[in-house]
Structure 1
Amino acid sequence: MSSPLQELCRAIAQNTSYDAFAPVFTLPQWDTLVGYLQAIDLPPGQVLIDQGAQDRAVFFIESGALSVHVVGDKGQMQLAILNPGSVVGEGSFFSRLPRSANVVATGPARVWRMTPIRFAEMSNRQPNLALELVMALGAVIAKRMVNKPKRVAVT
């Protein structure tokens, strides 16, 4: 595979975490998907998601690690560290609610962003691809919701 998503595909395939993002795409579908995503390179400490923000993009982690934490009355509390092959931002993507946590790069990281507008375009042009994507995202949310420590990390 010589797609721009080759490294993301590898990271997803190697992710064995309980809440792994695991879509079943063919190689041509991966090649189609890249047209709906935007690569973002994050330096260490870069904020990807701000708690309370209205942004609804979902992010697929190709490399690096992201720290998920909330800020409350008693300060900051880390909820999770997300690694390559994982997804973040899935909660607001579906719910249209404000972001429930901050997400920050712990070191250099690369993520791929899908906005709701690009997803709507994909839904119209590639409905099977869009369906598989939302089913895989829904599975991540379902797994995180039944795992109490991960439940609060649905962003």
Structure 2
Amino acid sequence: MASAIQNLCDAIAQNTSYDAFTPALNASQWELLAGYMQRFELTAGQTLIDQGAKDSTVFLIESGVLSVHLAGSKGQMQLAILSPGSVVGEGAFFSRLPRSANVAAIADAWVWRLTPGRFTELANRQPALALEVVQALGSVIAKRMVDRLKRIAVT
């Protein structure tokens, strides 16, 4: 029987984008990490992140497609499209600042949530695993910050 996290692992392994989330984790470490996250489904059109919200949760995309867009006086401006294996919410995860953009599902999606509280538990109980996750998230931010078009999509 395949584990619940296997589809996410496959999506991450198949993500070849420049800013891919690529933690160096083995199968048992992924299983441990799964215990600190919550998997849930988004339906097409459902909002995952609200611009301006004070939340530092980070999300890993298992399946589906998400849109990152900025709401302004002239409507919505799309900043990025995120596919399976990507992460979103990494900016607020580190900065603890309000969310900089909206994120919504374009198509039905499965997403994994890692809250700050659960990450703190992970860091206390599995520090090496937490360090690998945070370094991989930091790498995503660093790569997105180098790309001017993706810089504004750091949520």
TM-score by length of 1: 0.98
**C-alpha distance in 2 between matches for 1:141 and 1:3:** 29
Equivalent position of 1:40 in the other structure: 40
Supply the distance in 1 between the matched residues of 2:75 and 2:107 (Cα, whole angstroms). 22
Q: Describe the superposition over 1:79-133 as per-residue Cα deviations: whole angstroms up to 9, x where unpaired.
A: 0000000000000000000000000000100000000000000000000000000
The separation in 1 between residues aligned to 2:58 and 2:124, in whole angstroms, is 18
The alignment status of 1:137 with 2:137, answered yes or no, reads: yes
Amino acid in the other structure paired with 1:143: K
Aligned match of 1:29: 29
Query: Aligned partners of 2:151 and 2:3: how far apart in 1?
Result: 33
Find the residue that maps to 1:139 and give its secondary structure: helix
Matches within 5 A, 1:56-95: 56-95=56-95
Gaps of 5+ in 1: none
Cα displacement (A) at 1:36: 0.3
Instruction: Measure how far apart 1:75 and its partner are.
Output: 1.5
Are 2:106 and 1:106 equivalent residues in the alignment? yes
User: Are 1:122 and 2:118 matched, yes or no?
Assistant: no
One-letter identity of the residue aligned with 1:97: L
Q: Which residue of 1 aligns with 2:149?
A: 149
**Separation in 2 of the partners of 1:108 and 1:130?**
29
| Structure 1 moving runs of 4+ over 4 Å | none
Asked if residue 13 in structure 1 is aligned to residue 17 in structure 2, the reply is no
Specify the code of the residue in structure 2 equivalent to 1:89.
Answer: G
Indicate the SS of the match to 2:17. Answer: coil
TM (normalized to structure 2)? 0.98
Q: Report Cα offsets for 1:53-102 as digits up to 9, x if no partner.
A: 00110000000000000011221100000000000000000000000000
Q: Using the alignment, how far apart are the partners of 1:26 and 1:9 within structure 2?
A: 10
> What is the one-letter code of the residue matched to 1:152?
I
Q: Tell me, in whole angstroms, the C-alpha distance in 2 between the residues paired with 1:104 and 1:5.
A: 22
